[in-house]
């Protein structure tokens, strides 16, 4: 059996004046709930503990306050986020945690910022993998219209430089024994053992098949994705005639979210856990909810019902991925890579 209980910790609005510590307390409460329900893995949203600040025009300290900086190259020692790592260690729970990263590796005078997620193994007390968001939406310059909602991710972050590296989460599957913990993610003997093969995405990445496929090709059984998706931003997204009200725009945004995560889970024969920060931030900026756990047949297993803090939990069987990986798609037998060159042409 490759059964495991997993959780998505959807967060409701976090306003500009919400202290980070309050966001973290809410996240800890959701983790306590996940522990009570025997979850082995919890997934938080993109840039989880603070407001979605890229909508604001910021510089200097006002901007820097939103970023987290590692100590001694160890993400478990991110000063503000330490309580989350400590609690996950106590529960031996794995965790996907999204945050704005002030990268320490740079020797440049200029700050190097990324939109980042780490995967922490509670049992191993170790950050197993880091991912930096590749597809940064929005603009570098703010919109001219003063009442437009900006998405200044191209201004505040560099595109991720770590690629789409799947990894093995050691011993995540309780009833399967890992014979080769630490082997490469795509080693064929992995399926049926205690490690799970996992990939990470962040928000806008989930709209790009190119971001999922490298994980599918590495045998990923589970893709994790946190998001902050605006429900209404005509400058950013444009509108069709059928989008005549803010409510219709939100319905469409929810539909596109589900379309991306269900299809790409199916097409890559993996489960996915997709988790929103949502609701009205600062009584003004609407973000969609719709957090979902999706199975490898593209079906929604569980979906959040609110736009507030809400835990979604499901027992999933990663063994189900074999059908897609070995029969329906079986990439090594059926892909025709000689025709795919255009995908990577400039
Ligand atoms: N945070 C983030 O990446 N948001 C974008 C906004 C919409 S751009 C089509 C998203 O893809 O959800």
ipTM of the complex: 0.98
CA proximity to 227, closest of 309, 290, 173 = 290
Closest residue (by CA) to atom 7 of ligand 1? 229
> Which residues lie across from 230 on neighbouring strands?
287
Ligand 1 pocket member 45 (CB < 6 A): no
- Inter-axis angle of helices 246-267 and 209-217, nearest 10: 20
Q: Which of 46, 99, 135, 151 to mutate to test the pocket of ligand 1 (most atoms within 8 A of CB)?
A: 151
Distance, CA 166 to ligand 1 centroid (Å)? 23
Q: What is the pLDDT of residue 192?
A: 45
Q: What is the CA radius of gyration of the chain?
A: 19
Is residue 229 in contact with ligand 1, taking CB distance under 6 Å?
yes
Sign for the CA dihedral angle at 181, 182, 188, 191 comes to: positive
CA of 191 to the centre of ligand 1 (A): 33
Domain CATH for 13: 3.60.110.10
Structure tokens at 318: 């990663």
Task: Give the model's pLDDT for residue 53.
Answer: 98
Can you list the positions of beta strands (E) in 235-283? Answer: 271-276, 279-281
Q: Which residues pair with residue 169 across a beta bridge?
A: 196
- Contact 98 CB / ligand 1 (< 6 Å): no
CA atoms 124, 125, 126, 129: torsion sign = positive
Q: What is the whole-number distance in angstroms between the Cα of residue 204 and the centre of ligand 1? A: 5
Atom of ligand 1 lying closest to residue 207 CA: 11
With 60 as the cut, is the pLDDT of residue 188 above it? no
**Residue that the structure tokens 């986020």 belong to:** 81
d(CA 206, ligand 1 centre) in Å: 9
Paired residues of 276 in beta bridges: 227
pLDDT at 147 over 70: yes
Number of domains present in the structure of the chain: 1
Distance spanning both ends of the chain, measured CA to CA? 44
- Span 93-107, average pLDDT: 88
Residue owning the nearest CA to atom 10 of ligand 1: 204
Q: Of 40, 46, 70, 296, which one is the catalytic site residue? A: 46
Instruction: Give the span between the Cα atoms of 222 and 294, in whole angstroms.
Output: 10
Question: Residue 189's domain spans which residues?
Answer: 3-344
Tell me the pTM.
0.95
Ligand 1 proximity of 227 Cβ (cutoff 6 Å)? yes
Beta strands in the chain (DSSP E): 3-10, 41-43, 68-69, 94-102, 113-121, 126-132, 167-169, 196-202, 222-227, 271-276, 279-281, 285-287, 292-294, 300-303, 310-317
What was the pLDDT predicted at 237? 83
- Above 80 in pLDDT, residue 87? yes
Residues 207-256: tens digit of each pLDDT: 999 999 999 999 999 999 999 999 988 888 888 878 888 999 999 999 99
**Which residues, at least 6 apart from 12, have a Cβ–Cβ distance to it below 8 Å?**
277, 278, 279, 306, 307, 308, 309, 310
Per annotation, catalytic residue among 40, 70, 130, 203: 203
Q: Ligand 1: which atom is nearest the Cα of residue 52?
A: 1
What are the CA-CA distances from residue 309 to residues 17, 45, 100, 149, 286 (Å)? 18, 11, 20, 24, 15
**pLDDT grade for 164, boundaries at 50, 70 and 90:** very high
- Going from the Cα of 230 to the center of ligand 1, the distance in angstroms, rounded, reads 7
> Which residue from 135, 136, 203 has its CB within 8 A of the most atoms of ligand 1, so it is best to mutate?
203
Q: What percent of the chain has pLDDT over 70?
A: 93
């Amino acid at each position: 059996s490759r059964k495991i209980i997993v959780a998505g910790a959807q967060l409701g609005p976090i306003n500009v004046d919400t202290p980070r510590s309050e966001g973290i307390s809410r996240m800890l409460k959701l983790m306590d709930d996940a522990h009570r329900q025997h979850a082995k893995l919890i997934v938080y949203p993109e840039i989880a503990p603070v407001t979605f600040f890229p909508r604001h025009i910021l510089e200097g300290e006002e901007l820097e306050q939103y970023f987290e900086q590692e100590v001694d190259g160890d993400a478990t020692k991110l000063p503000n986020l330490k309580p989350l790592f400590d609690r996950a260690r106590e529960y031996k729970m794995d965790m996907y945690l999204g945050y704005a990263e002030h990268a320490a590796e740079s020797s440049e005078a200029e700050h190097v910022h990324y939109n980042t997620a780490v995967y922490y193994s509670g049992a191993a007390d170790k950050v197993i993998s880091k991912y930096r968001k590749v597809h940064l939406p929005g603009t570098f310059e703010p919109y001219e219209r003063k009442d437009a909602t900006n998405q200044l991710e191209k201004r505040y972050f560099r595109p991720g430089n770590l690629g789409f590296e799947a990894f093995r989460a050691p011993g995540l599957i309780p009833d399967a024994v890992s014979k080769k913990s630490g082997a490469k993610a795509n080693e064929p003997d992995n399926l049926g053992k205690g490690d799970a093969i996992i990939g990470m995405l962040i928000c806008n990445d989930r709209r790009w098949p190119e971001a999922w496929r490298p994980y599918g090709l590495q045998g990923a059984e589970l893709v994790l994705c946190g998001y902050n998706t605006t429900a209404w931003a005509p400058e950013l997204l444009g509108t069709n005639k059928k989008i005549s009200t803010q409510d219709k725009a939100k319905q469409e945004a929810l539909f596109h979210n589900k379309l991306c995560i269900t299809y790409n889970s199916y097409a890559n024969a993996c489960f996915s856990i997709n988790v929103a920060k949502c609701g009205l931030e600062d009584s003004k900026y609407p973000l969609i909810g719709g957090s979902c756990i999706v199975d490898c047949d593209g079906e929604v297993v569980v979906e959040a019902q609110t736009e507030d803090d809400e835990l979604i939990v499901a027992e999933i069987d990663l063994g189900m991925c074999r059908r897609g990986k070995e029969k329906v798609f079986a990439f090594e037998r059926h892909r025709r890579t000689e025709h795919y060159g255009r995908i990577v042409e400039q």
